[in-house]
Structure 1
């Protein structure tokens, strides 16, 4: 038996015709749906990119214990397990995060691997002289990535040179060479359609539109501030890249048709997460609440044993189910620490394998869905504590942990999945703080586009129980329950839930004295700033703010005063970050 997985990055399923899109051209995804079983309720678990790949390997959630980071020594890695059981595994990818500090242990779990360079500011081609960068709308926060991307684009002037094209070329070469062999797994993984939405003219020409603005194919992760013409332009740039992805998917379908590989080869087509393109007034996928455009994913699977195609399934499934599905397909024992389930019976008869699906990002909302409701549970403290990193591999996305981050580090007792290993327990700095979005509930049946969050303590009571059960099954750290204000058994009455909300409102107050008051909405902005200041220094910061106001003879605090205080008081890197977050989250 053989298996091929074609994996995209940041693929919003609402941009696929087979999921109901009427204007994006994706004929090969339509063709794929006719050859596979298509899932309607496939959810991400841990986000974003590398946490999702850790789930792909381990079949378990990781966002409650760890942010972005490598495979850990105690992790069960699906490709490595297959390799040890005489299934040859091969990775072809242009996903440059694999070659950075925070992802550098993943590709070596495969028997062999092959890379394609040049995506999103990949540190690839050396160029001391600054490249000719066009005047663009969004480049202020991209720094060296922006510069390097424009260096790389000089070498990607033809489609066949683009990383996606090279990646699929390598994958098709592997299939050609090994199609007559047995027991192998091939992962063809492209970074597209992740931003920047860089592709060739023939794909852009599929989406003619009027646009006379600055260069714009790389939106910031931010609120949408552009005009409608610009927003539509960015959507067309993304659609063009999705159509390129569709084209290369078609080449995999072609080769499977040519050699009749449907008889003995499993095919999985998936993505790590979606992407917001103006929905909910946001770009991106990692500082806002995780709406369904980000977490409800396209997923297709062909199992040659079952021969089922052109069918849909609505059972609730997740990324954590991919690893056990592949292990079961190759008749390899599934490790006990994998939380996911094989999808064989769900493919066969829509078998229900879970009551709820947990999803989120380290330090963010803890989210749960039962298929009808989505419940986003935010922290109860303005500073989003307590929260720790648990790791034996202390690296961030593209750098090691700083020495200062180990101050106060402890060794935790082993978790149920850590193979008796004690882990570093390190205070986590959260660059996001979901407190400011609040706790939200959505009824997907009545509000499928999640436009109307509401509160219903009876429904929340039920979903908290599901959430706590899934957290306990994941052996979540005890402090995570405290952070979001739920009991460890998940049994809470409506009065308890309501009381927590009242206490949260009481915490959103700052006493400045001297008859100084806050303009409406401004007190929240000041609390937002304090939430990023160490607790032992917050009284000092409040006193400094008071002094500034008294010196300026201010009695009514406005958002302008908050901004001035941040600029004058906090060190440059921090004030830049906070000012940006205030703009995006609090719209200041």
Structure 2
């Protein structure tokens, strides 16, 4: 028995011909569909990158207890379980997060691993005289500096990737193909062939750009703005074409993997999974990127293809609800191994065989933000009922973030928690959370979407009976996950007066007469002025502001009254706060 998991990052389901898109050139994904079973209701669990990968190892939700995280000492790792049972596990990836502080315990769970260098600002090539990268945003300084460092290093790295064969995607796939060629006649191995593309930066050889009418590769630097869409339709189209071009390159290399499956007749005894961690907003819902609420299906509903040699069923599709935490249970089951007691995911074999339901509901979300649940037809989003992140904690024995250790200041507030049902008797550190995303997650309110009536989630459903049913299911799943006690108050589960849908009007009483968008824009601007000691402008805003103001009126106040050097930061914060629909 052999298995290959071909994984990509930020692979958009709605951009693939295999899911009905006619705007992209993806013939090999269409070929993949004909060779495998396609799942139509496959969801993320914990967001974003490393939380999703922790779920691929452990088969349990990460986001209820922790944000970005390494594997913990008490975690059960699917590749490590395979390794302990004599199945050779091999990781090939250009995903640099495995080698950063926040992901450094993953790769060593495999028997062997290869790291392909140069992707997304990977600290690869050392050049002392660095290029100057100009980047202005209103993001917090730590995030801004991280982006500048990454983008500067990317400019250096690409100087060493002149040809397509030098491209990190090509080198990653080719290294995986080498493993397949070397071991195709052997038994008992698992290959995780994981590519960072089509994640940004959209670094694409010219031949793929030309397929979409881009003749000058310098018209865009490959970095989408992670911001409210302010670009012209022409500029928006250019950014989207870069993603599509990179997706077409990804498709070409999917074809190479399929060629090897054909050449060595691996279909007879080799499971093939093709998956991703999450999608990406390319202007939908007026936003670029992924780290923003609400967590719409462009990000949350992801492509998933699987060939199970014991089941067959090539060329068929499945409506059964499934999600990322089900992948490790499926692989363990394929190799004839029992899943650990703490693994919440289930084997997808019954769904593959005959579309039998394997789960009624799927939870998903970011730590501290909305808790979301779907039954495949409806998505219910439960917002925090508090404006801040007081009494929100991270539970861990591995105090690192995406690219650094927790600071001494962050650790000074820690206490020791006795542990949870899945920590195997280990107490854990309980550390006050620090998160930009969670501070304003309440502003979107509790939401319900009917994916049949409004598949683009552009109109909210008001069926209270459905919302109540999904709320009960959500509470049951939180109990089964042994979620932290504070989440019950944070999301209003214990308060019968909390509305099922909409926003609690008591959260922003200062501007109750304003439309929702302006209410949060006014609050954001007022807080900025108060926190920066601009008392005269506080009074002027209170005098000038009127309930009939539009977004443009508020924008103009900033342009007319605030110093120019504050505009970028203020507009960024306000755009985040005012993006409600």
Give the TM-score of the pair, scaled to structure 1. Answer: 0.89
Residues 204 and 245, structure 2, Cα contact 8 Å, conserved in 1: yes
Distance verdict in 2 for CA 1:138–1:154, change over 3 Å: farther
Distance verdict in 2 for CA 1:197–1:327, change over 3 Å: same
Residue in 1 aligned with 2:289? Answer: 284
Residue in 1 aligned with 2:110? Answer: 110
User: 2:480 matched to 1:478?
Assistant: no
Structure 1 portions without partners, runs of 5+: 512-516, 533-539
1:19-418 mapped onto 2 (5 Å cutoff) = 19-131=19-131, 141=144, 142-208=147-213, 214-418=219-423
Of 576-585 and 220-229, the range deviating more from structure 2: 576-585
Question: Aligned to 2:364, what secondary structure does the other structure show?
Answer: strand
User: 2:472 matched to 1:465?
Assistant: yes
Residues 136 and 216, structure 1, Cα contact 8 Å, conserved in 2: no
Distance verdict in 2 for CA 1:161–1:213, change over 3 Å: closer
Distance verdict in 2 for CA 1:542–1:243, change over 3 Å: closer
Distance verdict in 2 for CA 1:8–1:348, change over 3 Å: same
Distance verdict in 2 for CA 1:554–1:251, change over 3 Å: closer
User: 2:572 matched to 1:580?
Assistant: yes
Distance verdict in 2 for CA 1:264–1:408, change over 3 Å: same
1:104-152 Cα deviation digits (max 9, x unpaired): 100010001001111111111111223376x899999431111111111
Question: Aligned to 1:147, what secondary structure does the other structure show?
Answer: helix
Residues 45 and 52, structure 2, Cα contact 8 Å, conserved in 1: yes
User: 2:474 matched to 1:440?
Assistant: no
In structure 2, what is the Cα distance between the partners aligned to 1:575 and 1:228? 24
Residue in 2 aligned with 1:524? Answer: 520
In structure 2, what is the Cα distance between the partners aligned to 1:553 and 1:31? 59
1:183-231 Cα deviation digits (max 9, x unpaired): 1000000000001111101111211169899424211211111011111
1:304-335 Cα deviation digits (max 9, x unpaired): 11122111100000000000000011111200
Q: How far is 1:408 from its partner?
A: 2.2
In structure 2, what is the Cα distance between the partners aligned to 1:399 and 1:542? 28
1:564-579 mapped onto 2 (5 Å cutoff) = none
In structure 1, what is the Cα distance between the partners aligned to 2:424 and 2:321? 29
Residues 211 and 233, structure 1, Cα contact 8 Å, conserved in 2: no
Residues 138 and 571, structure 2, Cα contact 8 Å, conserved in 1: no
Question: Aligned to 1:297, what secondary structure does the other structure show?
Answer: coil
Question: Aligned to 1:154, what secondary structure does the other structure show?
Answer: helix
Residue in 2 aligned with 1:537? Answer: none
Give the TM-score of the pair, scaled to structure 2. Answer: 0.90
Residues 520 and 577, structure 2, Cα contact 8 Å, conserved in 1: no
1:258-306 Cα deviation digits (max 9, x unpaired): 1111111110000000011111111111123111110111101111111
Residues 4 and 270, structure 2, Cα contact 8 Å, conserved in 1: yes
Residue in 2 aligned with 1:509? Answer: 509
In structure 1, what is the Cα distance between the partners aligned to 2:520 and 2:577? 11
Q: How far is 1:577 from its partner?
A: 6.3
User: 2:457 matched to 1:450?
Assistant: yes
Distance verdict in 2 for CA 1:382–1:301, change over 3 Å: same
Distance verdict in 2 for CA 1:567–1:136, change over 3 Å: closer
Of 518-527 and 115-124, the range deviating more from structure 2: 518-527
Residues 518 and 556, structure 1, Cα contact 8 Å, conserved in 2: no
Residues 136 and 214, structure 1, Cα contact 8 Å, conserved in 2: no
Residues 4 and 268, structure 1, Cα contact 8 Å, conserved in 2: yes
1:221-254 Cα deviation digits (max 9, x unpaired): 1111101111111111101111111111111111
In structure 2, what is the Cα distance between the partners aligned to 1:531 and 1:475? 36
In structure 2, what is the Cα distance between the partners aligned to 1:280 and 1:258? 43
User: 2:15 matched to 1:15?
Assistant: yes
1:44-65 Cα deviation digits (max 9, x unpaired): 0001000000000000111010
Q: How far is 1:578 from its partner?
A: 6.5
In structure 1, what is the Cα distance between the partners aligned to 2:45 and 2:541? 51
In structure 2, what is the Cα distance between the partners aligned to 1:547 and 1:445? 51
Q: How far is 1:452 from its partner?
A: 0.7
User: 2:433 matched to 1:428?
Assistant: yes
Residues 525 and 562, structure 1, Cα contact 8 Å, conserved in 2: no
Residues 467 and 501, structure 2, Cα contact 8 Å, conserved in 1: no
Structure 2 portions without partners, runs of 5+: 546-552
Residues 386 and 482, structure 1, Cα contact 8 Å, conserved in 2: no
Question: Aligned to 1:468, what secondary structure does the other structure show?
Answer: helix
- The aligned length equals 564
Question: Aligned to 2:379, what secondary structure does the other structure show?
Answer: strand
Question: Aligned to 2:449, what secondary structure does the other structure show?
Answer: strand
Q: How far is 1:580 from its partner?
A: 2.2
Question: Aligned to 2:40, what secondary structure does the other structure show?
Answer: strand
Q: How far is 1:478 from its partner?
A: 1.4
Question: Aligned to 2:499, what secondary structure does the other structure show?
Answer: helix
State the Cα RMSD in Å.
3.1
User: 2:13 matched to 1:3?
Assistant: no
Distance verdict in 2 for CA 1:171–1:505, change over 3 Å: same
Q: How far is 1:510 from its partner?
A: 3.6
Distance verdict in 2 for CA 1:213–1:264, change over 3 Å: closer
